[in-house]
Structure 1
Amino acid sequence: MSIKAEHEIHQRRKGRNVGVGLMLVGFVVLVLALTFVKITGGAFELPRLEETQ
């Protein structure tokens, strides 16, 4: 079997996959950034447990 050059369809798929991967990474970074800003903003407090006696 000889090694064949990449077909045009494979090149297109690879380009699309890279694009989708970059969009996914961008979305994850956005969610992490929003979470970090919300937690460090000062308005975030852990719920307090009230003791009843």
Structure 2
Amino acid sequence: MSAPDELRSVPTESPEVAAARARTRRRRSIALALVLAALVIIFYALTIVKMGPAVFDRTI
């Protein structure tokens, strides 16, 4: 039992459309990486602020 002809023939996209999709994916990936890096920096800074200045005092 095989699939109908409409399902078997998958249309291929033109090189221009493929390039546009690749550019869109790249921009989205860069934006997500920047947001993730910003969140990491914010969480790190908040952790240091919540600990207070005593965290840098290492006199034992």
List structure 1 segments (4+ residues) > 4 angstroms apart after TM superposition. Answer: none
**Aligned counterpart, 1:38:** 45
- RMSD (Å) for aligned C-alpha atoms: 2.1
More helix by share: 2
TM-score of the aligned structures, taking structure 1 as reference length: 0.68
> Taking every aligned residue pair, what percent have the same amino acid on both sides?
14
Cα drift, residue 7 of structure 1: 1.1
Aligned length, in residue pairs: 43
